[in-house]
Amino acid sequence: MSDKKKADIFELYAQDPEQADEIVFGRVSDEGRRGFLKGAGLATMGALLGASIPFHRNMPSGLIPAALAENAFKIEGKDGLTVLNDRPVNAETPAHLLDDDVTPSARHFVRNNGIPPTNTNAKEWTLTIDGHVNKPLTLSIEQLRSEFERMRLNLQIECGGNGRAFFEPKAKGNQWTVGAVACAEWTGVRLRDVLNRAGVKNSAIYTAHYGADTHLSGDPAKLPISRGVPIDKAMEEHNLIAFEMNGEPLHAMNGAPLRLVIPGWPGSFSHKWLNRIQLRDVVHDGPKMTGKAYRVPKHPVEPGAKVDEKDMMFIESMPVKSLITNPMSGVKISVDNPVLDVRGHAWAGDNTVKEMYVSIDFGASWVKAKLYRPKNRYAWQRWNAQVQFPSAGYYEV
């Protein structure tokens, strides 16, 4: 499917009807796949169409109403996202929809590697801490809530591939433009507090993260992704085991009911549908931790150059970046008042952005923007600037 094409609902159902049912109509019931024409599925379909279906009993199995099929499928609970892929489901947010200081849950991007779990009952969910610990733990979400200090932080998460669409030569993978980034308010407990409860052995040097999502092949023996961080990073105070997003339960596509938030590093470290953290005495070697996955050259190279594996290193702290969120592209202003207010966000991985500048002449000259401090470490920083155009014409800020 092309980079910009939104996933077609026919294609989605042809590839994975159970996952399609979950995306389009919500969670599958305990009795198994409900399909189109049973119980809540029929009611939901009617709600989407805005009318009941008098002859639903005559509908062939698997038929998709034309009124639904004519529209690209949408991810339930998300608003305005551009779907890049439907298996696994990946979607980014147009820049102008990221203008809020705190990203609404409906506009937080979606990055999946496998098939999300269907059983995400928070009351039944448990998290296991094991490996190189003194006392392995299995904790319920209620125990996390009641036995550890709760934290509420604005934390920025960015996909390691954000901006990939602009690479030349092209890189493999989802062609993210600028919208695989967000800064929601996360509520949870410190990862380090939970690890300390288990007792971190001196032999532990790395974490390994596991979730309840399944491999695209459907093989239960395969993991879609399992990444980890050095123990020093894991013990940083802003890492959360999160169970709320913007004061509400996590969105299903953002890891409900439990996830890690490891801010400042690639989003792949912030494991979704979290059910196990293992401490290891070696660098973790799970899926997406070996080969060239999430690695960059240790030194500058020509674009597209071949680099020996020994000269590659993990992407850790993400690079400095900024985003224009207002106005959206294509705005026109009067030549009688050629002044434009521009604003957006800036961020810099483990670091804080010191200064922010904008240009209207393709970088020949720069105007300093007003840059605000983050609400807390690892939140993105609001900036704004006022630019004046010298004459009528086409400009890029």
Q: For position 253, what pLDDT does the model report?
A: 95
20 domain residue, yes or no: yes
The span from the CA of 192 to the CA of 207, in Å, is 11
The span from the CA of 350 to the CA of 93, in Å, is 23
Residues 185 and 298 in one domain: yes
Res. 225: pLDDT tops 70: yes
Give the pLDDT mean for 172-184. Answer: 94
Single residue among 314, 333, 350 that ends a domain in this structure: 314
Say which residue, 275 or 43, is predicted with more confidence: 275
Looking at the structure of the chain, the number of domains it has is 3
394 domain residue, yes or no: no
Q: Which domain holds residue 344?
A: 321-388
85 domain residue, yes or no: no
Residues 61 and 203 in one domain: no
The pLDDT tens digits of the residues spanning 80-104 come to 999 888 788 899 999 999 999 999 9
Q: For position 52, what pLDDT does the model report?
A: 72
Residues 142 and 281 in one domain: yes
Closest CA to 241 of 109, 145, 146: 145
Any idea what the CATH number is for the domain that residue 217 is in? 3.90.420.10
Give the pLDDT mean for 349-353. Answer: 97
Single residue among 30, 55, 73 that ends a domain in this structure: 73
Answer yes or no: are the C-beta atoms of 142 and 116 closer than 8 Å.
no
Give the contacts of 306 (CB within 8 A, at least 6 positions apart). none
Closest CA to 386 of 361, 368, 374, 362: 368
The pLDDT tens digits of the residues spanning 20-78 come to 655 554 444 433 333 334 444 565 566 656 667 777 777 665 565 666 555 555 788 99
Task: Classify the phi-psi angles of 161: left when phi > 0, otherwise alpha if psi is within -120 to 50, otherwise beta.
Answer: alpha
Burial of 253 (0-12, 13-18, 19+ CB in 10 A): buried
Any idea what the CATH number is for the domain that residue 366 is in? 2.60.40.650
Answer yes or no: are the C-beta atoms of 251 and 105 closer than 8 Å.
yes
Residues 183 and 254 in one domain: yes
User: Does the pTM exceed 0.85?
Assistant: no
Give the contacts of 263 (CB within 8 A, at least 6 positions apart). 155, 156, 157, 238, 239, 270, 378
Secondary structure of 304-330 in HEC code, one letter for each residue: CCCCCHHHEEECCCCCCEEEEEECCCC
